[in-house]
Amino acid sequence: MNILAISDVHGNENNKLYSYLNDNKIDLLIVSGDITNFGPVDFVEYFINKLSEYVTEIFAIPGNCDPDDVERNIIDSNAVCIHNTVIEYENLVLYGFGGSNPTPFDTPGEFDEDTLYKSIKSVLESKNIDSVKESTDEFPYGKIPILVTHAPPKNTEADKIADGSHVGSEAIRRIIEEYKPSLNICGHIHEAMSMDMLDDTVIINPGMLEGGHGCLIEVDKNNNIIANFIKL
């Protein structure tokens, strides 16, 4: 399965993305937040519905720069909004939560760390990750639990800003350490395009779509995760 992860669109659609989608077989497109830059919210439906001309399955969450109405606009679009919920797709189980930990900029989609932890924990406990990973007749290697967040976990390559400081979420790091999803797709920190490991969890920040970045994630028949960053 080919998954394309993008994040931090910030209202700039990047026409090279459409060319890439037209020229490559993408089974699932994941948009991990900041679709707008504090609006306009009608960009969400326009952008996602245009993406759906190239990709059938699109899952999305809002980011910290997305106003409250963006969640509703995702729901009304051709995407599936996976914020604060669990979605199963073939051999994947995706646990989603948008927004971010507090920033210095007082953006609309911020949560304190305690709220983030409790909210994401509730999502994860609605479908047990250990049972997801168990082998079945249909999925002999089990299914792959994927945590989709806008904010990255603290103290990883995915949350490092230009001066080397780490500004990610302590709550998301704690969640990953406790629940051990196979993969965390995040965003938020534009300059921190990276793949890292946190215990056994692969952490991918695809970079900023506005800057022409994304990540192609291939899941093979043995549930191995192979990631390659793309430049649009």
pLDDT tens column, 113-156: 999 999 999 999 999 999 999 999 999 999 999 999 999 999 99
- Per-residue pLDDT tens digits for 166-210: 999 999 999 999 999 999 999 999 999 999 999 999 999 999 999
Q: Is 90 exceeded by the pLDDT of residue 109? A: yes
The helix or strand, by DSSP H or E, that contains position 116, with its residue range, turns out to be helix 113-125
pLDDT at res. 111? 99
Domain ranges of the chain: 2-231
At 220, which amino acid appears?
Answer: D
Bridge partners of 214, per DSSP, are: 230
Contact by Cβ (8 Å): 169, 203: no
The mean pLDDT value of the chain amounts to 98
Q: Which residues fall within 8 angstroms of residue 92, CB to CB, at 6 or more apart? A: 1, 28, 143, 144, 146, 219
- Per-residue pLDDT tens digits for 21-65: 999 999 999 999 999 999 999 999 999 999 999 999 999 999 999
State the average pLDDT over residues 67-88: 98
- To the nearest 10°, report the CA torsion of 135, 139, 141, 145: -90
CATH 3.60.21.10 for domain 2-231: yes
DSSP summary character for residue 157: G
Verdict on whether the full-model pTM lies above 0.85: yes
pLDDT tier, 221 (very low <50, low <70, confident <90, very high otherwise): confident
Token pair for 212: 């022409």
The verdict on whether omega for the bond into residue 40 sits within 30 degrees of 0, i.e. cis, is yes
